[in-house]
Amino acid sequence: MKNLESMEQFEALKNNGKHIFLFTADWCPDCRVIEPVLPEIESKYQEYAFISVDRDEFIDLCIQQDVFGIPSFIAYDNGKELGRFVSKNRKTQEEIENFIEGLA
């Protein structure tokens, strides 16, 4: 999974192609729990590019996107928000996959 490097990159990615942004942080225990399953999820849903967004580095983006809990996922297709799985609750692989399945 690639890491977001700038706000400009976020806008470019959001508006071009299918992307799922994972809002996360190093200190977040619930984020660490899902880390081992993320490569499997990425390989299962290759139509999306997955981008990791460090909540602490991009706090303004989190506010702009109404992300107040992590881990959270927001999916875009060429600038259109397809859906969001945003909460402060721990997420399971099944819940993440159900979210992605529901985007289609």
Burial status of residue 96 (CB atoms within 10 A of its CB: 0-12, 13-18, 19 or more): buried
The C-alpha atoms of residue 84 and residue 8 are separated, in whole angstroms, by 21
How far is 78 from 49, CA to CA, in rounded Å? Answer: 12
Say which amino acid occupies 79: G
Catalytic machinery residues: 28, 31
Taking the C-alpha atoms of residue 65 and residue 25, their distance in angstroms, rounded to an integer, is 16
Instruction: Name the token pair of 17.
Output: 């192609």
Please say whether the structural domain 2-101 has been given the CATH code 3.30.43.10.
Answer: no
Rounded CA separation 74/83 (Å): 6
Condensed to tens digits (0 to 9), the pLDDT of residues 48-104 reads 999 999 999 999 999 999 998 999 999 999 999 999 998 878 899 999 999 999 996
pTM exceeds cut of 0.85:
yes
Sketch the domain layout of the chain as residue ranges: 2-101
The per-residue pLDDT for range 3-21, each reduced to its tens digit, is 999 999 999 999 999 999 9
